[in-house]
Amino acid sequence: MEHKDEQTPKIEGNMPEVSPSEARVLKFLADNAGLQKSLTEYEILLEGMTEREVSSAISWLEKKGLLLVERKEHTAYTLTYEGKRFLETGLPEERALNLAVKNGDIKTADLMKELGAKDGKIAIAQLAKLGIKPEGGIISVKSGDALKEVFRERILFLSGLPQSASLNPELLEHFRKREDIISEKKRTERIVRLSDAGIKIAGLVSTEEQISEITPELLQNGSWRGKDFRRYDLNSPVERINSAVFHPITFLKERVRRIFLEMGFTEMTGHYVEYAGWNMDALFIPQDHPARDMQDTFYIDADRGIPFEDEEVLKTFQEVHEKGVEGYTGWGYRWDVEKAKQLVLRTHTTVSTIRYLYKHRNAPQAAFSVEKVFRHESVDWKHLAELHQIEGTYYAKDANLSTLFWLMKEFYGRLGFHDLKFIPSYYPYTEPSLDVVVKINGKEMELGGSGVFRPEVTRPLGLKEPVVAWGLGLERLAMVYYGLDDVRDIYRTDIDWLRKFPLKF
Ligand code: PHE
């Protein structure tokens, strides 16, 4: 802004930017206090500026090195709600005394009625301290004159609040001991004086209004012309602000989602509570399999009456479990429909895959999810009872083991992990079954399972083409992604750790 430079007087070196209100405070100090004298911040009175504006100008000027600020702690006293009431109606002890004087005496019971129980009690206690004690339930006073001055001083004290300095110490003590009349607050008062730099520029700064915000109106009506613009001081110190960031798991989950979406997969969603029938039977997991044990699975203690939505499909599960499919023998035990109707917290998201494929029986299909599962498991450095699985499936004429290898390599490669290993494994629903292992910095981490669905899984549901599928741990991935030795660290609310990740997509 050319015209600005012509108007601004120059001083040696870099002149700090000073806003008009800061300039007014500088000039006020130079004019009113002389260059070397100090003022408290409440003594800086500028028309059109509130106490707050003065206070913030002082803070900025201090930061810019133009003011020297000394801080003094002191206690400020103010009236409470009760205190204000007494100031209006008179102190209870004074009102009581006046009543007694008027009639020569007063019964304490009547006093309570006149003043109310609360004020009545206060009045009796305070009068007793001044030597007027009830006798036989009656307070009698001949003249109140002796106490008039005491009460006048008390009221005078209260009406002088809020104040901090030069309070009568006896009265202060008196009211501090009485309940709920005055309250005290610690305050810091700032005493300010121009620094050498402040003295140097106080005469040079401009208090003229500046344009600090450019609005459409300003531009349209041209009123900006010839005006002074507020400059930005790019060197002024700013506090570090910790803005909200994604939790590392949320971030990683989102990255994973994006990768599968970019690869053309459809996202599937499911429910935490599932039928054992879909979570297990559909996947050809026999009913006496150890994974179905209460030790490993959370069962929901719900009324068995919640109807399974598809009785037909249950019959096909029974058929497969008991007799198999063409060319395969099945498990050969007596299948129990009640066990299939039990509700569980899903132990894996492969339940979403199998439900999805049952609904979308036309190949090709490519679907994924990143969702939570639950296992009745003891928690240790690499096991959690509640975790996320990266689930996925590819169902197509050309789906086979090499498609699976390729998909895993592609997926992990996009996250930056290029060294994968597949080791033979076992799941009742896949053949072959493979566990995916990632190698990083000489260490290996098991990430999850995968394989090709067995015909006992696909055929009863009417799936005609081969299906490859995988279920991978998101938290395990997070361990290698963030370099953790203990999976539990992810869910410790360690703010310092969480702040370490300026996670951006
Ligand atoms: N569901 C298996 C698990 O929870 C992983 C898996 C998914 C294995 C799909 C094979 C196929 O560990």
Three-state SS for 80-109 is: CHHHHHHHHHCCHHHHHHHHHHHHCEEEHH
- One domain, residues 119 and 262: no
- One domain, residues 114 and 12: no
Q: To which H or E segment does residue 126 belong?
A: helix 117-129
Of 221, 237, 271, which residue sits at a domain end? 221
Look-up of token digits 């900006």: 224
**Is the residue at 144 inside a domain?**
yes
Q: How far is the CA of 375 from the centre of ligand 1 (A)?
A: 13
Provide the Cα torsion 175, 178, 180, 181; round to 10°.
-30
- One domain, residues 268 and 313: yes
- One domain, residues 300 and 409: yes
**CA torsion sign, 121 to 127 to 128 to 130?**
positive
Rg value, the chain, Cα: 41
Cβ 390 under 6 angstroms from ligand 1:
no
Q: Helix, strand or coil for residue 452?
A: strand
Cβ 470 under 6 angstroms from ligand 1:
yes
Domain count, the chain: 3
Residue 471 half-sphere exposure, CB side, CA atoms within 13 Å?
20
Q: According to the model, what pLDDT value does residue 369 have?
A: 98
Residue 140 half-sphere exposure, CB side, CA atoms within 13 Å?
5
Atom 10, ligand 1: residue with shortest CA distance: 450
Cβ 451 under 6 angstroms from ligand 1:
yes
For residue 239, count other CB atoms closer than 10 A to its CB.
4
- One domain, residues 215 and 361: no
Question: Bridge partners of 183?
Answer: 78
Q: CB neighbours of 49 closer than 8 A, spacing ≥ 6?
A: 21, 24, 57
- One domain, residues 340 and 392: yes
Q: According to the model, what pLDDT value does residue 7 have?
A: 40
Q: Count of H helices and E strands in the chain?
A: 20, 16
Atom 4, ligand 1: residue with shortest CA distance: 348
Q: Which two tokens stand for residue 110?
A: 């009547």
Domain with residue 215: its CATH number is: 1.10.10.10
* N residues, the chain: 505
Cβ 279 under 6 angstroms from ligand 1:
no
Residue 490: name the closest of 246, 245, 244, 247 by CA: 247
**Is the residue at 172 inside a domain?**
no
Q: Which two tokens stand for residue 398?
A: 């050309």
Cβ 297 under 6 angstroms from ligand 1:
no
Q: How far is the CA of 228 from the centre of ligand 1 (A)?
A: 68
Cβ 352 under 6 angstroms from ligand 1:
no
Q: How far is the CA of 473 from the centre of ligand 1 (A)?
A: 10
Cβ 375 under 6 angstroms from ligand 1:
no
Look-up of token digits 């299909």: 365
- One domain, residues 127 and 254: no
Q: How far is the CA of 47 from the centre of ligand 1 (A)?
A: 74
Q: How far is the CA of 471 from the centre of ligand 1 (A)?
A: 4
- One domain, residues 402 and 383: yes
- One domain, residues 328 and 414: yes
Cβ 16 under 6 angstroms from ligand 1:
no
**Is the residue at 243 inside a domain?**
no
> Using an 8 Å Cβ cutoff, are 114 and 85 in contact?
no
Q: How far is the CA of 350 from the centre of ligand 1 (A)?
A: 6
> Using an 8 Å Cβ cutoff, are 66 and 18 in contact?
yes
Q: According to the model, what pLDDT value does residue 138 have?
A: 86
**Is the residue at 501 inside a domain?**
no
Q: Cα(478)–Cα(248) distance, rounded to whole angstroms?
A: 8
Q: Which two tokens stand for residue 251?
A: 């971030």
- One domain, residues 135 and 268: no
* DSSP annotation of 490: G
Q: Cα(304)–Cα(494) distance, rounded to whole angstroms?
A: 42
Q: Cα(52)–Cα(198) distance, rounded to whole angstroms?
A: 21
Q: How far is the CA of 200 from the centre of ligand 1 (A)?
A: 75
**Is the residue at 231 inside a domain?**
no
Q: Which two tokens stand for residue 267?
A: 């996202």
Query: What are the residue ranges in the chain where pLDDT is below 50?
Result: 1-12
- One domain, residues 353 and 405: yes
Q: CB neighbours of 104 closer than 8 A, spacing ≥ 6?
A: 140, 141, 142
Q: How far is the CA of 17 from the centre of ligand 1 (A)?
A: 64
Ligand 1 atom at minimum distance from 389 CA = 4
Of 202, 221, 240, which residue sits at a domain end? 221
Ligand 1 atom at minimum distance from 347 CA = 4
**Is the residue at 274 inside a domain?**
yes
Atom 9, ligand 1: residue with shortest CA distance: 470
* DSSP annotation of 275: E
Q: According to the model, what pLDDT value does residue 428 have?
A: 96
- One domain, residues 16 and 48: yes
Q: Which two tokens stand for residue 107?
A: 């019964």
Atom 12, ligand 1: residue with shortest CA distance: 449
Residue 467: name the closest of 504, 500, 495, 427 by CA: 427
Q: According to the model, what pLDDT value does residue 485 have?
A: 92
Cβ 86 under 6 angstroms from ligand 1:
no
Domain that holds residue 314: 250-495
Ligand 1 atom at minimum distance from 453 CA = 11
Domain with residue 355: its CATH number is: 3.30.930.10
Ligand 1 atom at minimum distance from 350 CA = 1
Cβ 369 under 6 angstroms from ligand 1:
no
Ligand 1 atom at minimum distance from 391 CA = 7
Cβ 388 under 6 angstroms from ligand 1:
no
